[in-house]
Chain A
């Protein structure tokens, strides 16, 4: 999303306040390019001597990197002294912009934040227009470290007395994130240790299995896990201290004993008391809720017409006649008071449960009730419950010692607390265990997969396959080594090998388009895809885009193809194509290291490398 201020005005304002040179961070490559277009259309121009300075710097660079001279934005940059810098550009162009910035020839650079670490040039001012950054799919808010990384580009040592971070609003900026980022302390960093297959192979090549655990223990990951384990151990000690009063009693493991006893008792109790039981105060009151009784309810008084049990209701119900003549059903438990007054009711078997004349009489009598009526004193009888309890205890006595045990009251009292503490101990112990050995277990899991595929012997020594497979130290190494073992690459053309490596290497899902693909590469890609799917439980499959494979195949297959011609064949940005080919080169050179065991394949790889590295790709070391 572009900022709300027009880019030309933005730079104008910065120039006016002497805040240039500036780096303007924008959300997308598109926004950077749009800003450059705005400048292309504008009529602003630098003073001739400054244009001259830019040209002279560029001329020197063009000698080293000829592709700069062909860049379409070259005249605009020279005229207005403003440039864009993002991952869609060729590295040589980015080097040129950085050099111009370092020499102080440019007034502003529009850059994306995605490559903030790669923007290795300072300026007097940094302009922030966003508070979040696109990561894989959706936008994530900047962390404090990220904001400081961006703001850190402001202020050139030796060239500026002060640096500036200028915030300008755009539709999706959150000022709080920016201010927090500028003022706060950076977040602590955490280890991101993952155990990959090449790591396992290389570790086992150099060290016997017994030493591996000690080596893993030296990682920052294990260091941080140990720290967490230590805090947990501190907590565990504290819990152990709390556990002290709950040590062994008549039986050593009284907590489990009591737990089992409790369970059995509950089950028994359930079996004996088949009928649902009311609480004692309600049970006692039920006898008095006879037809004609005046009772107190949460709102006003009422007169009981009948008492009944309904199938849908668990508790006993009463039908109440309200003073106004309304008849209502409610639970007996809602009755708050039972008054010492009752009237004669001529009962009837259907609604309203009394004869009409009697109902009228009752309504009249209710309206004449005095304000104060004495309540009935109701005694709750709770002997019944104890009887049931002792019954259960008796039946359980032959299985458990608890009912007659001398420490029974103590056990009963402490059990809940002791059980909670014991569970906490278990939980902490388990977590500590996991923290201490998790990394080692993950290593073992990886090693098992490698044994299964035959790279490792059952004693965890490298097999012949493992000896060469460990040299492939890139992402998706398992897929590549399995392809080599399946002889998928035997006798293929260099351009097809390059195409397959490109599609495995490319992990960007920005769309590109290139429909034509040779049948040989197409069928091989099908095979790769099948293998990648079958390896999915052990290794995340790569994107395997056919268009990048076709693009690379074309570049390697046709040595006469120019860079411009290649760029025309796809919608991918120049910088993305460059990165794709550079990464393919890296993968191919990994394949090339297998020359001792796979001379034919290594030879094909080196042929592909030779053709691949030409033109723009040859410019940089």
Chain B
């Protein structure tokens, strides 16, 4: 058998067989897609060709005899499992070769626009704002749960108390977006922007800048050259604080926090990170007041996951309607089957075209 033939033969096998063949041969084989898996097996074949081929033959024979018993194909991986029928009554016809209908009503239920309702801040938003009067605050919540509201409200309160507010974002593009947004809210005369090459209204009570600019300002202030009115600085809002871990620019966030004037409150807004309590402990250790951590994992708009097959069929990705908290075996069997089928199919065209050429 030439390598070409072996590759074609491997490509013709279902994923489940390849996985069994790869056991003990390929490191972390369950994580590989079909093409990668075949490549890894072929690499292994250069070491022990005979063993691989004989095992492949044996597996193919065993599958052929098993195939007589089972008429068609849920992948062999599921054989040991108890039937899912009672949990998914709508899919009792799952093993039929024709595309079965999967119950999507649960997945797609409730799509649409919620009725307009008066805006009430979430308890965590209130908590962050009330704590901010006395301490620094770190907010670590999922993307899109309303961090901007906290920033705007905190800025409004600080401005009303005649304090300067600095708002930093990691990207110039984001700074520009926020500048437009804040100008709309607070009025053009109360919002200024400082970026690498441009300064608009630098004496405004609310200043938007990239974190690098703030760092430079703080260095200049420490060197005795006051540039912006830092003595009236009451609040520093740092958006996207998870940039603290950015390999290239993370250091700027650290410098800024370390040199942030002690009379100003710090409000760190961050996406969900794994160790916000550690960051909070750090801030507590270097700032005059203890840092308060606001965190939660609940999204304000619930998230569901679906799997869209290339033929246009949509099925749920997980067994539960929402997203489960751990992923061990929680994939929806239909999504699993379709994905395995996809991996089988995508390989055939490539291997045949090879054989022709």
Contacts and interface: CB of A to CB of B under 8 A. Distances in A.
Given A9-B312, A153-B144, A189-B244, A168 B307 contact: yes
Which residue among B145, B212, B279, B282 has the maximum number of chain A CB atoms within 10 Å of its CB? B282
Contacts of A588: 197
A187 B275 CA distance: 8
A152 B306 contact: no
A77 to B, nearest CB: 19
A120 interface: yes
B274 A589 contact: no
A494 B313 CA distance: 59
Contact of A183 (B111, B176, B325): B325
A489 interface: no
Contacts of A13: 308, 312, 314
B189 interface: no
A189 B305 contact: no
A221 B255 CA distance: 11
Contacts of B273: 145, 186-189
Given A118-B173, A155-B144, A202-B219, A191 B250 contact: yes
Contacts of B242: 145, 189
B1 to A, nearest CB: 26
B47 interface: no
A164 B258 contact: no
Contacts of A120: 173-174, 177
B245 A589 contact: no
A264 B176 CA distance: 75
A171 B317 CA distance: 18
B200 interface: yes
Contacts of B327: 176, 179-180, 182-184
A177 B174 CA distance: 29
B144 A122 contact: yes
A117 interface: yes
Contacts of B31: 174, 176-177
B25 interface: no
A158 B144 CA distance: 11
Interface stretch (A36-44, A212-220, A274-282, A403-411): A212-220
B233 interface: no
Contacts of A155: 144, 299-303
A157 interface: yes
Contact of B308 (A149, A168, A191): A168
Contacts of B309: 5, 168-169
Contact of A4 (B193, B278, B342): B342
Given A4-B346, A162-B111, A205-B223, A149 B271 contact: yes
B78 to A, nearest CB: 16
B60 interface: no
A387 interface: no
Contact of A218 (B171, B286, B300, B311): B286
Contact of B35 (A171, A188, A196, A205): A171
A158 B108 contact: no
A186 B171 contact: no
Nearest to B326: A183
A432 to B, nearest CB: 19
Contacts of B240: 117
B324 A183 contact: yes
A143 to B, nearest CB: 10
B356 interface: no
Contact of B196 (A159, A175, A586): A586
A272 to B, nearest CB: 48
Contact of B197 (A148, A194, A613): A613
B30 interface: yes
Nearest to A618: B198
A243 to B, nearest CB: 32
B187 interface: no
A173 to B, nearest CB: 7
B176 A152 contact: no
Nearest to B299: A155
Interface in A68-125: 91, 94-95, 98, 117-118, 120, 122, 124
Contacts of A343: none
Contacts of A9: 312
A621 B242 CA distance: 25
Interface string A1-18: 001110001101110011
B26 to A, nearest CB: 14
B109 to A, nearest CB: 8
Given A162-B304, A164-B304, A169-B342, A145 B272 contact: yes
A192 interface: yes
Interface residues of B, number: 93
A190 interface: yes
B255 to A, nearest CB: 7
B111 A18 contact: yes
A179 B317 contact: yes
A165 B303 contact: yes
A218 B262 CA distance: 13
A182 B272 CA distance: 12
B123 interface: no
Interface string B188-216: 00000101111010000000000010011
Contacts of A12: 312
A582 B244 contact: no
B28 to A, nearest CB: 10
A585 B197 contact: yes
A38 to B, nearest CB: 15
Contacts of B271: 145, 148-149, 152, 186
A169 B341 CA distance: 11
A163 B304 contact: yes
Interface in B110-148: 110-114, 116, 119, 142-146
Given A156-B301, A220-B257, A585-B196, A176 B30 contact: yes
Contacts of B302: 155, 161-163
Nearest to A192: B250
Contacts of B195: 621
Contact of A206 (B173, B193, B216, B219): B219
A25 to B, nearest CB: 13
Contact of A153 (B111, B143, B197, B274): B143
Question: Which residue, A124, A620, A621, has most C-beta atoms of chain B within 10 A?
Answer: A621
A621 B176 contact: yes
Given A186-B274, A189-B279, A165 B304 contact: yes
B179 A621 contact: yes
Contacts of A206: 219, 222-224
B234 interface: no
B274 A164 contact: no
A191 B346 contact: no
A219 B250 contact: no
A160 interface: yes
Nearest to B36: A172
A190 B244 CA distance: 8
A75 to B, nearest CB: 25
B80 interface: no
A194 B247 CA distance: 9
Contacts of B308: 5, 10, 13-14, 127, 166-168
Interface in A17-35: 17-19
7 contacts: A117-B240, A120-B174, A167-B305, A171-B35, A205-B222, A206-B222, A223-B286
Interface of B: 30-33, 35-36, 104, 108, 110-114, 116, 119, 142-146, 170-174, 176-177, 179, 193, 195-198, 200, 212, 215-216, 219, 222-224, 240, 242, 244-248, 250-251, 254-255, 257-258, 271-275, 278-279, 281-282, 285-286, 299-312, 314, 317-318, 323-327, 330-331, 339, 342-343, 346
List 4 tightest A-B contacts by C-beta distance, closest first: A152-B143, A155-B301, A192-B250, A188-B274
Given A165-B317, A167-B308, A192-B247, 17 more contacts: A10-B308, A17-B108, A91-B173, A117-B171, A127-B308, A152-B144, A156-B144, A157-B145, A160-B111, A160-B112, A166-B308, A166-B314, A168-B310, A188-B278, A202-B222, A205-B219, A621-B198
